[in-house]
Amino acid sequence: AQTVTQSQPEMSVQEAETVTLSCTYDTSESDYYLFWYKQPPSRQMILVIRQEAYKQQNATENRFSVNFQKAAKSFSLKISDSQLGDAAMYFCAYDRGYSTLTFGKGTMLLVSP
Amino acid sequence: DGGITQSPKYLFRKEGQNVTLSCEQNLNHDAMYWYRQDPGQGLRLIYYSQIVNDFQKGDIAEGYSVSREKKESFPLTVTSAQKNPTAFYLCASSTRVGRTSQHFGDGTRLSIL
């Protein structure tokens, strides 16, 4: 069974600084998809970024970017110029491409002024 | 605007009662999902449906039931067989199972009286 591990239960960052959230996964597949979702205090899940394993280029969405290391099975999320609105629980998720998502347990990001 | 509507936002159940959580989407998505979220557990899949009149068990289906009679609707019933139903429940949809991101509703908080 696929597993997704987020080893940081909580991370802190100051406004305007950069923070990186870690995610590792276990798979024997060669083609798959990875996601980062954000869950703010309102508890609605919001897609942050998506990466396709066959693409070597790291995905980027404005201030959010990933460092995808396929051989190491690592998929970290970098948030640049952090804002107060970035404070949320962040979930890493794995998709085999033909099945449902497997989520990690999440990392709570705290942002201070 | 297209989206997913979950109702009610808060729900209380007495011991021995069945309760039904509603999930409606107007995104014209074929696939729909139900997740349970507990503190420190991330999201765990209860049931999912790839198409009308078809659904599959997820990782924690015991004590739950679903139906998919219409494309837009995927209600979840928490039966009296579910011994620990207190949790936050999230409904999601996607164009298909796998390879695409999921859109989420705002969730329903279920508590035992």
pLDDT, one tens digit per residue, over A57-79 is 999 999 999 999 999 999 999 99
Give the contacts of A14 (CB within 8 A, at least 6 positions apart): A82, A111, A112, A113
Segment B21-50 shows an average pLDDT of 94
A1 band by pLDDT with thresholds 50, 70 and 90: low
Of A42, A45, A106, which has the smallest distance from its Cβ to B90's Cβ? A45
Tokens matching residue A62: 């404005």
Interchain proximity A97–B98, CB inside 8 Å: yes
DSSP H or E stretch at residue B13: strand B10-13
Return the pLDDT at B1.
Answer: 65
pLDDT over 90 (residue B19): yes
A86 SS3 class:
helix
* Positive or negative torsion for Cα B80, B84, B90, B91: negative
pLDDT over 70 (residue B74): yes
Residue percentage of chain A with pLDDT more than 70: 98
Segment B72-89 shows an average pLDDT of 94
Of A43, A96, A103, which has the smallest distance from its Cβ to B42's Cβ? A103
pLDDT over 70 (residue B90): yes
Residue with token string 């703010």: A40
Residue with token string 């729900």: B11
Chain B residues whose CB is inside 8 A of the A101 CB are: 43, 45, 102
Burial of B30 (0-12, 13-18, 19+ CB in 10 A): middle
